[in-house]
Amino acid sequence: MAALSKVEKLLTKKRAIESELTQIRRECKHNEQQVAMVPYGPGCQLEIRWLCVNCAETLGYPSECEIDHYVRKK
Ligand SMILES: [Zn+2]
């Protein structure tokens, strides 16, 4: 049962971290945004998204033109 209590502790921590993140992101105005690769889904595939520079919230999909610009910049 050692693993279970460790997992429960981690889950409690995770919830605390998530609620703190939610709080920060709720207060953030997302004034500065950039196109970036973000891990997405269970397989953690990378996707190109608009990301807030300040709180790292994913904000939406860039247009094809914006993606093109981002890829060229690399
Ligand atoms: Zn933000």
pLDDT per position as a tens digit, 27-56: 999 999 999 999 888 888 999 999 999 999
Domain of 50 in residue numbering reads as: 2-73
Q: Which positions ≥6 away from 66 have C-beta within 8 Å? A: 35
pTM exceeding 0.85: no
Task: Report how far ligand 1's centroid is from the alpha carbon of 11 (Å).
Answer: 25
Tally of domains within the chain = 1
Task: Report how far ligand 1's centroid is from the alpha carbon of 53 (Å).
Answer: 7
Q: Which amino acid belongs to residue 47? A: E
Could you give the CA distance from residue 49 to residue 60 in angstroms, rounded to a whole number?
6
Residues surrounding ion ligand 1 at CB below 5 Å: 28, 30, 52, 54-55, 57
Sort 30 into a burial class: Cβ within 10 Å, 0-12 / 13-18 / 19+. middle
Q: Give the pLDDT confidence of 1-33 residue by residue, as tens digits.
A: 689 999 999 999 999 999 999 999 999 999 999
Task: Report how far ligand 1's centroid is from the alpha carbon of 4 (Å).
Answer: 35
Distances 20 to 29, 40, 54, 55 between C-alpha atoms, Å: 16, 21, 15, 11
